[in-house]
Amino acid sequence: MSDKPTPEEAQSEESPPEAVSSEAASSDEVLSEDGFLDDEVAAREAAESEATGSEEAESEADLPADAVKAGIAAARAALADVPPEPGAPKLDPILKAVGVKRAFGGLVAVDVEHLEIQRGAITALIGPNGAGKTTFFNLLTGFDRPSRGEWVFDGRRADRMRSYQVARAGMVRTFQLTKALTRMTVMDNMLIGAANQVGENFWAGLIPPLWKAQEAANRRKALELLERFKLIDKREDYAGELSGGQRKLLEMARALMLNPKMVMLDEPMAGVNPALKQSLLEHIKGLREEGMTVLFVEHDMDMVHEIADWVAVMAAGKLITEGTPDSISADRRVIDAYLGAHHDAAQR
């Protein structure tokens, strides 16, 4: 039997809106529990209480293009001096994970001692098949529970959050096997992506005019995103009629309904034809231009070279090295990890 949630289970965990209000009320207790990453959380909270205005997502959207470009340059500069070593500290990490372990029976699928993801940059997570990349994504986003481990996302302890709480905190992921609901229209898939936000204000949900205003806003946003991802003509089609590549685009568009701070993409380019691949690449770069942080799993090193600012490498559950795409390509440990995996596969 597999512990992994089936697509349906994972989907249903995403958010029954009525459950959201009661769970959300208890999330602060969870965050204040003891843990050695809590000093960082406290520091971040103190900094936030000093800052005026909490609508971070809104103010980011209003940033002039020059400021956004400066932000990207700063993110890259922040990585320029980071040593190419596993667990290397970053100047401004949006995510910091410590001692994250997940075992399935005797198999240790993930055993990451320390990983920091630089805010505003595109980080690729690479590694041979079975390295633990998807399991690590599942853990970080609350779709699976670790045997042990702690992590802080954007100043908040996130290791006890449920998947919808993680998404609402701004860490949103897509799946290696796309999870578009095939017997629903493209538009409805988008609106489901925003369902978390409806539950965000329980009382507003009870007052029809407020609820309707929210729904109208969601529709406007969905249409904008479908336009941007060139799916607008497909909005009334069933998601099941889309090509594999279009489903990947739909999943990315749906993730953006939640105004994420960090987007995690599990093999966004797999099974996508070359023409759509290029457009997916441009969309991923676009996320960075808007100030988002991107963490994506990819096997194709050409793709990694083209868009990643930084690369983290996993093998047999562990983070074996990190570095710029150039330093990673030349790294003996990486070459050995891939050759080792091929060697093992050949022997089976």
Ligand X SMILES: Nc1ncnc2c1ncn2[C@@H]1O[C@H](COP(=O)(O)OP(=O)(O)OP(=O)(O)O)[C@@H](O)[C@H]1O
Site of interaction with ligand X (CB under 6 A): 2-4, 104, 107, 109, 127, 129-135, 176
Nearer to ligand X, 69 or 343 (CB): 343
Residue 282 CB, nearest approach to ligand X (Å): 24
Nearer to Mg ion, 133 or 157 (CB): 133
134 lies in the site for Mg ion, by CB under 5 A: yes
Nearer to Mg ion, 117 or 131 (CB): 131
Nearer to ligand X, 137 or 310 (CB): 137
Decide which of ligand X, Mg ion, none touches 3; Cβ closer than 5 to 8 Å per partner kind.
Answer: ligand X
Torsion angles phi and psi, residue 173, rounded to 5: -125, 160
Residue 300 CB, nearest approach to Mg ion (Å): 14
Nearer to ligand X, 131 or 226 (CB): 131
Decide which of Mg ion, ligand X, none touches 271; Cβ closer than 5 to 8 Å per partner kind.
Answer: none
Decide which of ligand X, Mg ion, none touches 129; Cβ closer than 5 to 8 Å per partner kind.
Answer: ligand X
Nearer to Mg ion, 131 or 152 (CB): 131
- DSSP codes joined into one string, 147-195: SEEEEEETTEE-TT--HHHHHHHTEEE--SS----TTSBHHHHHHHHTH
Q: How far is CA 146 from the centre of its chain?
A: 17
Residue appearing with tokens 């993409």: 265
Residue appearing with tokens 């996130």: 158
Residue 284 CB, nearest approach to ligand X (Å): 18
Residue 266 CB, nearest approach to Mg ion (Å): 6
Decide which of ligand X, Mg ion, none touches 119; Cβ closer than 5 to 8 Å per partner kind.
Answer: none
Separation between Cα atoms, residue 96 and residue 116, nearest integer Å: 4
By DSSP bridging, strand 148-153 and strand 318-323 are unpaired
Residue 16's H or E segment, with its range, is: none
174 lies in the site for Mg ion, by CB under 5 A: no
Q: Are 196 and 168 in contact (CB under 8 A)?
A: yes
Question: Which structure tokens are listed for 159?
Answer: 């290791």
Question: Which structure tokens are listed for 132?
Answer: 């633990």
Q: Alpha-carbon torsion 66, 224, 210, 29, what sign?
A: negative
- Non-local (6+) Cβ contacts of 207 within 8 A are none
Coil, strand, or helix at residue 146? coil
Order of strands, sheet of 156-157, starting from the edge strand that comes earlier in the sequence: 107-118, 93-104, 148-153, 156-157
Residue appearing with tokens 């990585």: 79
Decide which of ligand X, Mg ion, none touches 109; Cβ closer than 5 to 8 Å per partner kind.
Answer: ligand X
Separation between Cα atoms, residue 255 and residue 258, nearest integer Å: 6
Q: Alpha-carbon torsion 55, 58, 63, 65, what sign?
A: positive
Decide which of ligand X, Mg ion, none touches 127; Cβ closer than 5 to 8 Å per partner kind.
Answer: ligand X
Nearer to ligand X, 143 or 229 (CB): 143
Decide which of Mg ion, ligand X, none touches 130; Cβ closer than 5 to 8 Å per partner kind.
Answer: ligand X
Decide which of Mg ion, ligand X, none touches 132; Cβ closer than 5 to 8 Å per partner kind.
Answer: ligand X
Residue 214 CB, nearest approach to ligand X (Å): 36
138 lies in the site for Mg ion, by CB under 5 A: no
Nearer to Mg ion, 147 or 176 (CB): 176
* Residues at the site binding Mg ion, with contacts judged by CB under 5 A: 133-134, 176
